[in-house]
Structure 1
Amino acid sequence: MKKDSKIYIAGHRGMVGSAVWRALESEGFSNLIGRTSSELDLRNQNEVYEFIKTEQPDVIIDAAARVGGILANNDYPYQFLMENLQIQNNLIDAAHKLEVQKFIFLGSSCIYPKFAPQPLKEDCLLTDALEPTNEWYAIAKITGVKACEAIRKQYQKDFVSLMPTNLYGTHDNFDLQTSHVLPAMIRKFHEAKENGNAPVTLWGSGTPMREFLYVDDMAEAVVFAVNNVLPEHLYNVGTGTDVTIKELAETIQRVTGHEGDIIWDSEKPDGTPRKLMDVSKLKSAGWSYKTELLEGIEKTYVWFLENQNTIKQVKLSK
């Protein structure tokens, strides 16, 4: 891909999209375009089609999605299913019909079955039932993966799907009602420290294992996909290592300086017992992560401290 190729990043203001924008700029790409949700409603098929027709990007990176943790997925199942289907289908279909050279679809490890063998391989997709707490989002993302695969199979186009593990980092969502586990913990431990090291109550037992990838590393994987024609349609993106939620909590507690107790509310759901990605396919293609978990949490906490008065807090309506 040439450095002046026009690249449209859908969701360029989000945690992942903004990291991808920064990474592409640092690589010398000079023709990046983005639109806010007020400028372009990605749920509107006609708007999306006319925008792609007018701008004629060479590459589309779909980093736009309605996202959230267990609570948000459970409370807003229709929005998580329908809005994600609308966003990705409009982008994928317009890219196909208007002959966009390359399409990179970003998803999530939750597309894989709840009890799939660990570590999760790409070919375990659709082999068993999903985790119920986020199946609405997962079904939408699976549809996106299969749409890109279908276009690739039928029309031999360069449409590829990257499935990251749990992402975190700067510009994350720290709203306790809609955020994922890591940013939610950072905020909880920080506020408890500020409140005289009050106890912190966390959901579940602390025993589930999770893998976490710093968002700037994910952005580098996207740049890698921009610069290379990958031979397959679906790639996992992660570190290939995981920790228990309890270990994660204790690490964040140390980073934030909280000295109070941690209380585990076992009445709340744990979610999937383990989600570790097999990242051997993308590694063999030439990409691997750089940022270890402790370093990434430290960077994220510094950003949180500097931006806590203006941090993104997502409110959903039914």
Structure 2
Amino acid sequence: MNKDVKIYIAGHKGMVGSAVWRAFEKEGYHNIIGFGSKDLDLRDQAAVKDMLAQEKPQVVIDAAAKVGGIMANNTYPYQFLMDNMLIQNNLIEASLHVDLDKFIFLGSSCIYPKLAPQPLKEDYLLTGPLEPTNEWYAIAKISGVKLCEAIRKQFGKDYVSLMPTNLYGPFDNFDLQTSHVLPAMIRKFHDAANNGNAPVTLWGSGTPMREFLHVDDMAKAVVFAAENKLPEHLYNVGTGEDLTIKDLAQTIQKATGHEGEIVWDSTKPDGTPRKLMDISRMHGLGWKHRISLEEGIKDTYDWFLENSNSYKEVKI
């Protein structure tokens, strides 16, 4: 792909979008554009169409979404369903409207059935019920995947969906009310360590297994998809390795220097028992992750410490 190609990254200020921007710049791409929410409301169909018609990008990457953990999904089901459908549908429809050939849609591993066989293959989509605690977000993302598949089938355009496993890294959300499990743990252990190594209470039993991918590795997968015409419409992006939530907690506890007790609140939901991605499809094309979990957690915690003034410590 020519380094002069114009690339529009929706959601460029978020954790994923900003990582994608950095990855393209690192590879020598310099004609990259993005708009903050104050300048462009992606839920406004007319505004999105006008922007694409005016800017005429050659590649559109949808890294914009309303995201959050179990608590946020349970508390705001309507927003998680409606806002995400509006954002992605407007971007996909506007891209087709301006005859754009390359569109990369980013989703989540939560699109797969709760009790699907492990590891999760792309073919397992729509083969069983979803995990109830995040089905609102999942249904929105599934509709985006199917829209991109429909456009490939009907119009022959290179619209591809990348489904990452649990992402983490710099610019993550560390707010305890809305964050995902890994950044929430970093925040909890950090605050507890600074409060006399107070006990840390975590949701569930600690037995579910999860896979985690550093956002910079995900960003490289996006660049890979942009630079190559991928033969399928849907690809899992992950490490192919998982660990228990309890092991994750102990890894983060060590990284933050917390020496107190970990308490598991079994009255809170565990979520899906296991979510390991089958990444053979992407591996077969040549993409593989590079950052280990231990290295990635250290990198993320270092970033958190450098930016901890953005997060008020919680007295425990």
Shorter-chain TM-score category?
A: over 0.9
Residue correspondence of structure 1 range 1-318 to structure 2 within 5 A:
1-310=1-310
Give the C-alpha shift of residue 208 in structure 1. 0.1
TM-score normalised over the length of structure 2: 0.98
Give the C-alpha shift of residue 310 in structure 1. 2.2
Give the C-alpha shift of residue 218 in structure 1. 0.2
Give the C-alpha shift of residue 177 in structure 1. 0.4
Deviations 1:139-165 (A, max 9, x none): 000000000000000010000000000
Deviations 1:64-119 (A, max 9, x none): 00000000000000000000000000000000110112000000000000000000
Verify the 8 A CA contact 1:204 1:267 in the aligned structure 2. Answer: yes
Verify the 8 A CA contact 1:304 1:311 in the aligned structure 2. Answer: no
TM-score normalised over the length of structure 1: 0.98
Query: Where do 4+ consecutive residues of structure 1 move more than 4 Å?
Result: none
Q: Hey, what's the Cα distance between the residues in 2 that align with 1:311 and 1:14?
A: 16
Q: Hey, what's the Cα distance between the residues in 2 that align with 1:190 and 1:170?
A: 16
Calculate percent identity across the aligned residue pairs.
73
Q: Hey, what's the Cα distance between the residues in 2 that align with 1:161 and 1:2?
A: 22
Give the match for residue 316 of structure 1: none
Verify the 8 A CA contact 1:212 1:293 in the aligned structure 2. Answer: yes
Question: What is the DSSP-based 3-state SS (H/G/I as helix, E as strand, rest coil) of the residue aligned with 2:309?
Answer: coil
Deviations 1:184-226 (A, max 9, x none): 0000000000000000000000000000000000000000001
Q: Hey, what's the Cα distance between the residues in 1 that align with 2:117 and 2:107?
A: 20
Q: Hey, what's the Cα distance between the residues in 2 that align with 1:277 and 1:297?
A: 20
Q: Hey, what's the Cα distance between the residues in 2 that align with 1:282 and 1:156?
A: 21
Structure 1 alignment gaps of length 5 or more:
313-318
Corresponding letter in the other structure for 1:86 = L
Q: Hey, what's the Cα distance between the residues in 2 that align with 1:309 and 1:23?
A: 26
Verify the 8 A CA contact 1:162 1:236 in the aligned structure 2. Answer: yes
Verify the 8 A CA contact 1:165 1:211 in the aligned structure 2. Answer: yes
Q: Hey, what's the Cα distance between the residues in 2 that align with 1:309 and 1:57?
A: 36
| CA RMSD across the alignment | 0.8
Corresponding letter in the other structure for 2:23 = A
Q: Hey, what's the Cα distance between the residues in 1 that align with 2:276 and 2:5?
A: 35
Q: Hey, what's the Cα distance between the residues in 2 that align with 1:164 and 1:127?
A: 19
Give the C-alpha shift of residue 311 in structure 1. 5.4
Q: Hey, what's the Cα distance between the residues in 2 that align with 1:91 and 1:308?
A: 34
